Amino acid sequence: MSVKHFPLSKAELEKLAERYPTPFYVYDEKGIVENARRIKAAFSVFPGYKQHFAVKALPNPYILKILAAEGFGADCSSHTELLLAEMAGMEGEDAMFTSNETPAREYEAARKLGAVINLDDFSHIEFLEKTAVPQERGLPELVSFRYNPGPLKEGNAIIGKPEEAKYGLTREQIIRGFSLLKEKGVKRFALHTMVASNELSIPYHIETARMLFELTVEIKNKAGVRLEFVNLGGGVGIPYRPDQEAVDYQTLAAGIKKAYDEIVTPAGLDPLGIRTEWGRVITGPYGWLVARAVHKKEIYRNYIGLDACMADLMRPALYGAYHHITIPGKENAPLAETYDVVGSLCENNDKFAVQRRLPKIDVAADGNTAGDFVVIHDAGAHGRAMGFNYNGKFRCGELLLRRDGSIVQIRRPETAEDYFATLDLPGLKHFN
């Protein structure tokens, strides 16, 4: 069981909404920091353990700075994400660049910033070599490969089966790739994989580590290359549903350590650095989308219409994902109604919840009154980041509840000016 907590009372939300009208995201700094420290404590069984936060999960430099202060690095998949990491002080090898179908200019940018480049294909060795920044020749000193185990590993619902995934190199290519890197004068080597998303099974993640450890030994034996570190990727799940259990970090770290002791140490490859690049589990449970109920509609089903829509949070529409919903002030009220909780997009899958049992929700009586607050939980990762502007919708802003209880806006909501900013409006006058 996981308890669904929201750190603000209805009265606090009323006051907050006077300054920042709904919808908005709220992130809880205390929750994020305490969680980061629990992870570090559990993984301290590995000296030099490093967690690179997946910037794509919550690409806001204020959040990245909080994580940087906890010693986290960044996992970036684009030039923009590298820039965000740099803004937060996650520079040089603190940033890993795991991209795919990467344009030369992005590799150049990653090299200039000194990020660890994680290649997604055998052919990218030469591609990278030829996109050297002027002051450097050839390949960087440290190169990593992303491994795709294909049929050797089960994937899961969100990420799909590894053999159908576009990412990474095959086992045989990995061995050949490391031999080639060595021939070309690369000095430091690393291995990465990312085979699942939102996976709550601890044995699954331990198996992934075991698979990488075994490959580490094979690489040493067949390519004569000793790896500096392995990156176990992201994909640790969170309990979106109250009846699910959070992953216990101690159990996970202990299981990975056991696999390490059984495979890496006897092969004489200790110390091997251990890294992760988790996103969801780092910030997901500590972010909420706060909206207000605007309309109620009773047709074949009963609908509650919010002032947020799937442009703010598309996971339910994209994956049929469950996000828990609570109504501040009605936490203990009976779940007396069944609603579809929907947004205002001209898309019928713009639904935050389908046939959900909830307390009776009050909506605005007219334009001068306000309906109940509706809090959508576990939205702190892959939430606002996946937003978009379809239907001319503006993505909402982001607030941070600081450790001292103060609340600061860390991103303002979008406006019509933002939406029109990429149009060449003066040119419209001359357009016939």
Ligand X SMILES: Cc1ncc(COP(=O)(O)O)c(C=O)c1O
Which of 73, 234, 287, 343 binds ligand X (CB under 6 A)? It is: 234
Which window, 78-86, 132-140, 190-198, 369-377, contacts ligand X (CB under 6 A)?
190-198
- Which residues are bridge partners to 292 per DSSP? 373
371: contact with ligand X by CB under 6 A: no
Q: Which stretch binds ligand X (CB under 6 A): 102-110, 192-200, 309-317, 343-351?
A: 192-200
Rounded distance between C-alpha atoms, residue 424 and residue 216, angstroms: 53
CA–CA dist 432, 420 (Å, integer): 20
As beta bridge partners, residue 117 has: 97, 143
Cα angle for residues 313, 316, 319 (degrees, 5° grid): 120
* Residue 165 CA to its chain's centroid (Å): 18
Determine, following the binding rule CB under 6 A, whether residue 197 of this chain makes contact with ligand X.
Answer: yes
Nearer to ligand X, 100 or 349 (CB): 100
Q: Is 61 helix (H, G, I), strand (E, B) or coil?
A: helix
Among 23, 149, 162, 233, binds ligand X (CB under 6 A): 233
> Exposure pattern of 24-43 as b/e (b: 16+ CB <10 Å)?
bbbbbbebbbebbeebbebb
Q: How many CB atoms lie within 10 A of CB 65?
A: 14
- Per-residue mark of binding to ligand X, 279-318 (x: CB under 6 A): xx--------------------------------------
Q: Residue 266 contacts by C-beta under 8 Å, 6 or more apart in sequence?
A: none
Here's the x/- map for ligand X, 342-361, by CB under 6 A: it reads as --------------------
Among 62, 229, 278, 373, binds ligand X (CB under 6 A): 278
Contacting range for ligand X; rule: CB under 6 A; set: 129-137, 233-241, 302-310, 322-330: 233-241
Cis, peptide link before residue 271, omega less than 30° from 0: yes
Alpha helices in 79-200 (DSSP H): 79-87, 104-113, 124-129, 171-183
Interaction between residue 75 and ligand X (CB under 6 A): yes
Smallest gap from residue 337 Cβ to ligand X (A)? 33
In Å, how far from its chain's centre is CA 365? 38
Binding piece for ligand X, criterion CB under 6 A, among 59-67, 191-199, 341-349, 412-420: 191-199
Measured from the CB atom, the residue of 280 and 324 that comes closer to ligand X is: 280
Residue indicated by tokens 């605007």: 294
Residue facing ligand X at closest CB distance: 234
Contacts with ligand X, 151-170, as mask; x by CB under 6 A: --------------------
88-107: contacts with ligand X (CB under 6 A)? 98
Rounded to whole angstroms, how far apart are CA atoms 176 and 260? 24
Q: Do 299 and 389 meet the contact criterion of CB atoms below 8 Å apart?
A: no
Residue 194 makes contact with ligand X by CB under 6 A? yes
Give the type of residue at 1.
M
- How many residues bind to ligand X according to rule CB under 6 A? 17
CA distances from 113 to 69, 149, 256, 396 (A): 20, 30, 31, 31
Instruction: Say whether residue 381 binds ligand X (CB under 6 A).
Output: yes
Where does this chain touch ligand X (CB under 6 A) — which range of 59-67, 230-238, 346-354, 362-370?
A: 230-238
Nearer Cβ to ligand X (198/208)? 198
| Contact track, ligand X, 26-65, x by CB under 6 A | ----------------------------x-xx--------
User: 61 vs 168, which CB is nearer to ligand X?
Assistant: 168
Minimum distance between the CB of residue 147 and ligand X, rounded to whole angstroms? 12
| 85 sits in which H/E element | helix 79-87
Computed from CA positions of residues 155, 158, 159, 165, in that sequence, does the dihedral angle turn out positive or negative? positive
Closest distance between ligand X and the C-beta of residue 76, in Å? 9
Measured from the CB of residue 283, what is the shortest distance to ligand X in angstroms? Answer: 9
State the pairing for strand pair 407-411/397-401: antiparallel
Whichever of 73 and 305 has its CB closer to ligand X, that residue is 73
Write out the DSSP string of 297-359.
EESSSEEEEES--TTT--HHHHH-----EE-TT-TTS---EEEEEE-SSSSTT-EEEEEEEEP
Stretch that binds ligand X, among 104-112, 231-239, 295-303, 384-392 (CB under 6 A): 231-239
Nearest approach in angstroms of CB 100 to ligand X is: 8
The residues binding ligand X (CB under 6 A) are 54, 56-57, 75, 98, 194, 197-198, 233-236, 277-280, 381
